[in-house]
Structure 1
């Protein structure tokens, strides 16, 4: 959903600043609580008119959305994130029904990579629909089994610093260089790197693009290093 929010902002910039028409609609494909619940109405109202929710899955027996609670220790300087989700995750069959109901025009499918085994089947189904569709995927948590297989199937891959470091790399350039041979389908690889910004690799030219982090001189840069992959995880903050 974070990626969807960024895309909405980019489309707004495209229309208002560049004076260009919106190239395609944005569809949210997510599992939400009951359709008429206050939680779902609040989620849908928080988005702009460019996001279409018609392909969401509503769990009518649930009233609470997936949530994250952040508990900060003032004495230790640590933050504990407790993730809560009572919503049954999307199944492959549900995704196939949604994909089949969408317009046949070329589409870009973006997957968060939360449930690798299900996501892999969804990606492979999109491939069966036709080569005109593009696929991107997020690869973030180093202890989550199956993410490397997702990266190998995608056109565009977004990696996290924690994933790169969890695999023994200390710079985004060397990490993306190593990943280039493991992602035969991809044309673009990206890796975020905290206070150093983000790096992209265009595999067609084997050219790197670096985008520095946006820094407000009045605020410190804080990076959180995940120390646990459990639903309740403690993160130690480091200020630069």
Structure 2
């Protein structure tokens, strides 16, 4: 059993400031942090913590497919050391003529708990042909392919190839960035779809439930749709049974928002854990509740370490 995640891998530089700076304003940051980022790498980092708690014979192999700079570059070495050995990077694509990774510069505002992100990415994206060669080398028993949905045209071609090569594998996709053309087509081809609040609102939906019920009429292949909605919690919907689950925003004693970076990626990790490792043990409400709790704990701390403690009341 294996889970393969396909998406961009970033190196994040995070500045924490008292408030978001205005134009031409000088502002002193309270902290500066550099860490490996990217939706799929974040999801795998959390997922590898969770899968350590399942019996070894049930533990899925976790693999990342991402475009990285030269294999010998400092950035690529740091990325590998941060994820391996529990996440395998042997199928990553190295652009040997580049030394700099895709990068994000993030301003984290303490006054609002929000963050503003500026991306820099000069690495040529993966092509369908490159992915097909990688897929040919993967274990035929691969259980699930998860796509960031970064380049919809390429991602669609990759999904179509998977359907031929791995007819029994599940495909999940993120529909996150508002206004990005082609994401709807990806959702129509996927088994599991993760919608963001930003994308849903941009598309005219006023709640997670409205988004999922209406989108389910357009995503005929999907068996599970999920949508997070910030302080209003999250919803999940199984079109085949008509089952809708809702959970409110995570709260705990002395809870406060510390770091929202990667909260959505953490939620996805929780749902993928439920899908792959707890399919027979957890119902939809339990999977959603766990993913929501996991993401809530992540928001209350810096980084991703120790998030597997969310499993305490679920084991």
The bucket for the TM-score relative to the shorter chain is 0.7 to 0.9
Q: Does 1:94 align with 2:159?
A: no
Following superposition, the deviation at residue 166 of structure 1 comes to 0.8
1:137-152 equivalences in 2 (<5 Å): 137-152=173-188
Whether the aligned pair in 2 keeps the contact of 1:109 and 1:136 (CA below 8 Å) is: yes
CA distance in 1, matches of 2:73, 2:259: 36
Q: Does 1:2 align with 2:42?
A: yes
Whether the aligned pair in 2 keeps the contact of 1:30 and 1:57 (CA below 8 Å) is: yes
Following superposition, the deviation at residue 86 of structure 1 comes to 1.5
Provide closer, same or farther for how the CA distance between residues 215 and 78 of structure 1 changes in structure 2, counting only shifts above 3 A: closer
Following superposition, the deviation at residue 147 of structure 1 comes to 0.1
- 1:206 corresponds to which residue? 242
Following superposition, the deviation at residue 12 of structure 1 comes to 2.0
Match of 2:220 among 181, 184, 201: 184
TM-score, structure 2 normalization:
0.64
Q: How many residues align?
A: 220
Q: Does 1:59 align with 2:99?
A: no
CA distance in 2, matches of 1:125, 1:60: 26
Structure 1, unpaired ranges of 5+: 225-240
- 2:162 corresponds to which residue? 126
Following superposition, the deviation at residue 130 of structure 1 comes to 3.7
CA distance in 2, matches of 1:159, 1:101: 30
Following superposition, the deviation at residue 51 of structure 1 comes to 0.7
CA distance in 2, matches of 1:75, 1:198: 24
Whether the aligned pair in 1 keeps the contact of 2:75 and 2:100 (CA below 8 Å) is: yes
Match of 2:256 among 203, 209, 219: 219
Structure 2, unpaired ranges of 5+: 1-40, 262-315
- 1:193 corresponds to which residue? 229
Provide closer, same or farther for how the CA distance between residues 223 and 166 of structure 1 changes in structure 2, counting only shifts above 3 A: farther
Match of 1:30 among 35, 48, 66: 66
RMSD (Å) for aligned C-alpha atoms: 2.4
Provide closer, same or farther for how the CA distance between residues 140 and 75 of structure 1 changes in structure 2, counting only shifts above 3 A: closer
TM-score, structure 1 normalization:
0.83
Q: Select the structure with the greater relative contact order (CA < 8 A; seq sep ≥ 6).
A: 2
Q: Which stretch has the larger CA shift, 212-221 or 132-141? A: 212-221
Following superposition, the deviation at residue 210 of structure 1 comes to 2.2
Greater percentage in helix: 2
